[in-house]
Amino acid sequence: MDLSTLDLIIKETIVAIERSQAQIYEIAENTRLEADAVGRELAAVRNELEAVMAEVDKLEAAEKKARLRLAEVSREFNRYTEQDIKAAYDRAYNLQIELIKLREKEKVLQYRRNHLEISLRRLRTTLERAEKLISQVGVVLAYLNDGLHDLSLKIDELQETQQMAYNIIRAQEEERKRVAREIHDGPAQSMANLAMRAEYCLKLLDKDPHKVRQELVELQNLVMLSLQEVRKIIFDLRPMVLDDLGLVPALKRYFADYQEKYGLEIDFLFFGKERRLESTVEIALFRIIQEAVNNIKKHAGVSRARVKMEMQSDRVAVSICDTGRGFDLNSVQNRKNSKGYGLIGMRERIQLLNGEMLIDTSPGKGTQISIMIPL
């Protein structure tokens, strides 16, 4: 490669990175605007919730007085006319209905507030990461502008990194499609059903109040099913126990749930002193092990496997093995239009952490994957 070609490559690289920097800046600005909008909506919801809670308190006091009045006229009906008794009953009943509606509104507002708070935290986290990435790209640009004379020695590495980025973007898009499909087929459908059932309950209050209880019981069961679906989606996206307790408890929980759902028993062996790792290391190891376990379920044809983890002071070593069908590693890796049992994604995650992965397998002799991540 001559110097003119090398210089052209450097200039094109700088232009591409500058374009990426502008795109990242645009993403950051859009995220900032969205965060501001969510913040304003959150403030409005909080104000409305405070007003509703105050109204609930007032209505509870009025409803209590109405019940006491009804008890009084019912107990001493000889002192009151039938009209007085009916008026006391109607007032107590109407206040109860109003209180039920207001409490339901309070719950909806609380749900919106919690959802907006979570969204705002995520947006702010995204904004911080985007701003940090802009700064890092700026450092890269400064380095390139000062001269990147050894670019010819890095061409292969850059191509590999570019391919890795493409694969990561593709995996992210596939994950977004999967999550969108699960939300559309699960919680979204359930929410629509909930809205119709709630509307039906409101109509029953006027026409046949005695049937409302049964409808509310069915509505409650539907809400619980929707909640389970949402929790499953959340766990697939990022297990909360991973953030709260760490990698080892998250894996134990995942293996127990996996056995209950699919019948695949995982013998989990842990050695060393359990401690928290960096968030990126924990989530990468969790996803790598998750992909390996899914491969065992799909391809190994066994009902039991073993995962061994050893946590040392300077590294984490993981071994995932089964005695199943095994496969021809070269054939799988060289197969066109194949995701290679997810091995590419696993290897890319490990490379991002400067780790190593070795695969020992052959047809009919099971598979063992050995992973080492430096700390």
Which range has the worst mean pLDDT, 18-22, 81-85, 141-145, 155-159? 155-159
Please say if the pLDDT value at position 338 is more than 60. no
Calculate mean pLDDT across residues 52-76: 85
Do 38 and 181 lie in one domain? The reply is no
The whole domain housing 17 covers 1-149
Calculate mean pLDDT across residues 7-29: 76
Domain edge (last residue) among 237, 260, 285: 237
Do 106 and 206 lie in one domain? The reply is no
On average, the pLDDT of the chain sits at 79
Beta bridge partners of 372: 317, 356
Which tens digit of pLDDT belongs to each residue from 175-217?
Answer: 566 566 666 666 667 676 777 777 777 777 777 777 777 777 7
Do 325 and 370 lie in one domain? The reply is yes
Number of structural domains the chain divides into: 3
Looking at the chain, the whole-number percentage of residues with pLDDT higher than 90 is 14
Alpha-carbon dihedral angle through residues 50, 54, 59, 64, given to the nearest 10 degrees: 130
**Side-chain-side CA neighbours of residue 274 (13 Å):** 10
Do 277 and 242 meet the contact criterion of CB atoms below 8 Å apart? no
The predicted pLDDT at position 187 comes to 67
Do 1 and 10 meet the contact criterion of CB atoms below 8 Å apart? no
Do 186 and 300 lie in one domain? The reply is no
Do 117 and 255 lie in one domain? The reply is no
Do 1 and 57 lie in one domain? The reply is yes
Q: What is the CATH number of the domain that holds 118?
A: 1.10.287
Do 12 and 138 lie in one domain? The reply is yes
Do 244 and 189 lie in one domain? The reply is no
Calculate mean pLDDT across residues 70-85: 78
DSSP state, 299? I
Do 360 and 368 meet the contact criterion of CB atoms below 8 Å apart? yes
Do 138 and 251 lie in one domain? The reply is no
Domain edge (last residue) among 220, 237, 254: 237
Do 3 and 135 lie in one domain? The reply is yes
Most confident among 210-224, 235-249, 354-368 (mean pLDDT)? 354-368
The predicted pLDDT at position 3 comes to 47
306 vs 246, higher pLDDT = 306
* pTM given for the model: 0.45
Domain edge (last residue) among 189, 209, 237: 237
Do 127 and 28 meet the contact criterion of CB atoms below 8 Å apart? yes
